[in-house]
Amino acid sequence: MAYSLINMKIYNSLSNKPEEFIPSSNGKVKMYVCGLTPYDSAHIGHARTYVAFDVVKRFLIKNGQNVFHIQNITDVEDKIIKRCKETGADPKTLTIDVHDEALALFDRLNILRADTYPKVTEHIPQIISFIERLISKGSAYETATGVYFDVSKFPGYGKLSGQNMDEIKAGSRKAVDETKEDPADFALWKKTEGEIIEFDSPWGKGRPGWHIECSALALKYAGETLDIHGGARDLIFPHHENEIAQSEAANGKQFCRYWMHTGFLTVHGEKMSKSLGNFVTLRQSLDMFSPNAIRMFFLQAHYRSPVDYDEEAIEAAGESVERIFNSMGLIRELEEGRMAQEDPAFREESDRLIGKFHSAMENDFDTPEALASLFGLLRLTNAHLEKSEVDRNQLERVMKAIEEMVWIFGFIEEKPALDEKSSALSKLAEEFGISESSSEKILHALISLREEWRKKKDYQKSDLIRAKLNAIGISLEDKQAGHRYKVK
């Protein structure tokens, strides 16, 4: 089910206002999201940003766009060098292991993988070529310590962060490097001598500055102009500001058309920090909560809004996702014998809610409003299923729409862990004369037997099955549309 992007608006951090989203190439979106510096475990702040852009990507895909997603790996950086010196680790081994672990955790969160994960260390020639171009255009200069971008040569410097040059210079300290011509100038190449990570270059041995990598990699994999560049809000300055300056100075063309930034994440109202004892890794969070719960918790806030990590709220978010799949189960288990009757009121309201979902997502990916539409649709559908006659054709349309919404949000329908109850279910099968052997078939046979006794009004026996299942951790929920079970 594809929808037009004709009404889509994205809040552009560059203009600080919503703008109509028009991909530069019809049907193709080039999206760059700043990747990890793999020196330590991925944390919940990473998860917040990558879940947000995963939903952006999923919605664009569902709307017929071919999204080419680039996510860099900063595998050479001061933090990596410091960690290796502290621990004696090999830089290449450390960065591969940490990034592989992070990808496995993101897989558990059902985050779609990028099309490419280019490493800085594997693109040094492209980075050197980019710096040479800046030098040839007079936008960069060499000193005894490295190569620096001359911000005075780029008139638009500060246009993303909204800072003027006086503010930027006030926040810089020339004492950090006396060789720079201006405190605001930033490093494109850092000269080194005998460092554990260094590369040959026209300026001697050294390594790239932090910002140049993203410009060089974006140029290589997406061409001169990106459609969307994403990252956390704290990257606006200096990282993204510097990307714009060096990219547009080198190419003379707009670097990115739409800049998107996720809001800050705090823990107990404070910035996450190991020194404060409130640092939460993604692995720790996934050990406590389901991927669905974590995703729902993040999506209940708009991607640009701040989020405070709250364990009780995450637990409640997981229960909300369970309600979604319970409702989907009731639609799937609709009894064949139920009378079918077109219901104009149900059709009109359900279509309105489906349209409202897409309108919310087109409005700068407003996931809180989109979720409200989804839950409104579920309540409406559950009420319709209680009727003696149902609109089967519209229920089929509604089910497809809900499945699409669930895919866009990235929720995973988890199968009940019946295998853990196999021994207890086998004993119940023997007790009630059921010959099935698989756990799932035994359970369905018990539910069918209970329903037979209920129809015969033998409530003592039907209640006995319910009580026996509850005793082994399987609860039953009776609805007119069918019977649902939940494994505790």
Per-residue model confidence as pLDDT tens for the chain (488 residues): 333 466 899 999 999 999 999 998 888 999 999 999 999 999 999 999 999 999 999 999 999 999 999 999 999 999 999 999 999 999 999 999 999 999 999 999 999 999 999 999 999 999 999 999 999 999 999 999 999 999 999 999 999 999 887 767 666 654 456 789 998 999 999 999 999 999 999 999 999 999 999 999 999 999 989 999 999 999 999 999 999 999 999 999 999 999 999 999 999 899 998 888 889 999 999 999 999 999 999 999 999 999 999 999 999 999 999 999 989 988 988 866 678 899 999 999 999 999 999 999 999 999 999 999 999 999 999 999 999 899 999 999 999 999 999 999 999 987 666 777 888 888 998 999 898 888 878 888 898 899 888 888 888 888 999 999 889 888 887 765 456 677 77
pLDDT of residue 279: 93
pLDDT of residue 86: 96
| CATH 1.10.760.10 for domain 9-288 | no
The answer for residues whose C-beta is within 8 angstroms of residue 261's C-beta and 6 or more apart is 13, 230, 231, 232, 233, 235, 236, 304
The CA radius of gyration of the chain, in Å to the nearest whole number, is 28
Q: How many beta carbons lie within 10 A of that of residue 27, not counting itself? A: 9
Give the H/E segment covering residue 70.
strand 66-70
- From CA 207, how far away is CA 77, in angstroms rounded? 8
* Peptide bond between residue 238 and the one before it cis (omega within 30 degrees of 0): yes
What are 481's two structure tokens? 């549309």
**Could you give the residue range(s) of every CATH 1.20.120.640 domain in the chain?**
306-409
| Lateral strand order in the sheet of 265-267 | 270-271, 265-267, 307-309
pLDDT of residue 286: 96
pLDDT of residue 172: 60
The answer for residues whose C-beta is within 8 angstroms of residue 363's C-beta and 6 or more apart is 9, 18, 369
- From CA 432, how far away is CA 237, in angstroms rounded? 68
Residues 235 and 204: beta-carbon distance below 8 Å: no
The answer for residues whose C-beta is within 8 angstroms of residue 387's C-beta and 6 or more apart is 343, 480
- From CA 102, how far away is CA 79, in angstroms rounded? 17
Residues 123 and 131: beta-carbon distance below 8 Å: no
pLDDT of residue 170: 62
CATH of domain 306-409: 1.20.120.640
Give me the phi and psi of 29, to 5 degrees please. Answer: -120, 125
pLDDT of residue 193: 95
Give me the phi and psi of 365, to 5 degrees please. Answer: 55, 55
Closest residue by Cα to residue 243 from 234, 233, 284, 254: 254
Residues 86 and 332: beta-carbon distance below 8 Å: no
pLDDT of residue 245: 98
Residues 367 and 409: beta-carbon distance below 8 Å: yes
**Could you give the residue range(s) of every CATH 3.40.50.620 domain in the chain?**
9-288
pLDDT of residue 78: 94
Closest residue by Cα to residue 332 from 379, 406, 398: 398
- From CA 358, how far away is CA 346, in angstroms rounded? 19
Residue with tokens 């609709």: 334
pLDDT of residue 483: 64
First to last CA, the chain: 35
pLDDT of residue 459: 87
Residue with tokens 């996450």: 272
Residues 208 and 10: beta-carbon distance below 8 Å: no
